[in-house]
Structure 1
């Protein structure tokens, strides 16, 4: 305050504010992480993070969560037949689970199969037929 003028030189750097927009898809049961936040449901989210330059960095996320399709089947087949699910084929009674990836969403489909295979039917016949005679079983004649 001596009444003299002062000259102040200011070297100012203005850092950019970063903004990122994401459109992402995940499967049910998965989590999409942005910074410290984890998202498990479809929606539009905004996260404000601190960039390496100390400024705010905004991330806008449009998230779609695809459901996992689960199907339960109860099937019965005859002895000697096969039942196919995806790339699997079954011919014995049992409970099976197949996981089939979706070409559209990338999420798995789960197929639960309770398969019953009917017992083989065997019948023994002993018949006597005179020479030149016929013998019929069902629609077949011998």
Structure 2
């Protein structure tokens, strides 16, 4: 018989998978357009140090801006996560907000910049939160 933690894990995974498959596009009001709102969380710790402000600026200029020239928002953040050994790791982070069409080229561009950051700065992961949104300008 499975233990309680295994049952909880399975129930949690089922809830997450259900939420992902049932993400419905909102009904936008007049003057609004349906778009995707991506929030990307980039940690700055790397082997041998941290991603410097100059390195981050070069990444934005060379990788992100060419893929999203219409605009983006960057905020400084402080993130934390639990390491494999159970310890809490805290690090400075960058939060990148993108609003873009729900199309193949935009999706590819997001995946490319995530992969580029992971490779360039030896990161295990970049957190991505993707949601439909109604936008107006």
TM-score, normalised via structure 2 length: 0.22
Larger radius of gyration: 1
TM-score, normalised via structure 1 length: 0.22
Which of the pair has the greater relative contact order for Cα pairs under 8 Å at 6+ separation? 2
Bigger share in helix: 2
Bigger share in strand: 1
